[in-house]
Amino acid sequence: MNKTTLLTGALASAMLLYVPAGLAESLIDGIYISDGAANGTGQCTLTIRSISETHKYGDETFELESSGDGACEWSAIGLSKSYAITGGLVTSGGAPAFVKLTFPFGPAGKKMELTAFDLDGSLRNSEVFAKQ
């Protein structure tokens, strides 16, 4: 084998290792819409954006921003570990809480479940979102 063939093989191998990580990140980022109430009210929009910083104890860091009516107004910073994102959130009224996002069918399934907890661990609310 010559040097060109070895160099091409090494570059292709390195690119194959890098591509899945980039694809996984892009699968989570996006805009998600909740079902809302039966009459069409209370629908929340959740935007998930990657923050390009590496961390020692998690896979990725994300900025989460929810908008809509009432309890939908909050923002958070979350850390993922195997596509489950956990983080702290602050509502528009200034009330702190914790949030956990899970992808029951993986990030490619385009369905996400959000559970919010108060600081004492009690359940605040739970929503199901679909990726747009």
> What is the predicted pLDDT for the residue at 32?
93
Phi, psi of 4 (to 5 degrees): -65, -45
Q: Please name each of the domains of the chain with its CATH number.
A: 28-131 (2.40.128)
> What is the predicted pLDDT for the residue at 6?
46
Structure tokens at 31: 């805009």
Q: Which residues have C-beta within 8 Å of that of residue 47, sequence separation ≥ 6?
A: 30, 31, 32, 64, 65, 66, 67
Run means of pLDDT, 10 residues per run, the chain, 132 residues: 50 41 62 74 86 71 86 86 84 86 86 91 90 89
> What is the predicted pLDDT for the residue at 14?
42
Structure tokens at 91: 């509502």
Element (H, E) at 8: helix 3-28
Q: Is the pTM of this model over 0.75?
A: no
> What is the predicted pLDDT for the residue at 56?
66
Distance CA 85, CA 99 (A): 8
